[in-house]
């Protein structure tokens, strides 16, 4: 799990860096993978529940 979270954090940092460089302040959700075990393990259920396809 620790290695998984390290890799995920690197993905997020890459996206945030790209957004900052391009002066982008929003993302559009086109597709969203939801793996219930991972969401529960990261205590992200509340955060994920606020996201849906097509939302900025």
Walking along the chain (56 residues) 10 residues at a time, the average pLDDT comes out as 89 94 88 66 67 64
pTM of structure: 0.57
44 Cβ neighbours under 8 A, 6+ residues apart? 38
Q: How far is CA 30 from the centre of its chain?
A: 12
Query: What's the pLDDT at 36?
Result: 61
Q: In whole angstroms, how large is the CA radius of gyration of the chain? A: 13
Q: Which of 27, 32, 5, 6 is nearest to 16 (CA)?
A: 27
Residue indicated by tokens 């393990």:
41
Residue extents of the structural domains in the chain:
2-49
């Amino acid at each position: 799990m620790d290695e998984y979270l390290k890799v995920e954090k690197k993905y997020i940092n890459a996206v945030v860096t790209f957004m900052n460089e391009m002066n982008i302040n929003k993302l559009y959700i086109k597709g969203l993978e939801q793996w219930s075990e991972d969401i529960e393990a990261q205590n992200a259920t509340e955060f994920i529940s606020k996201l849906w396809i097509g939302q900025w």
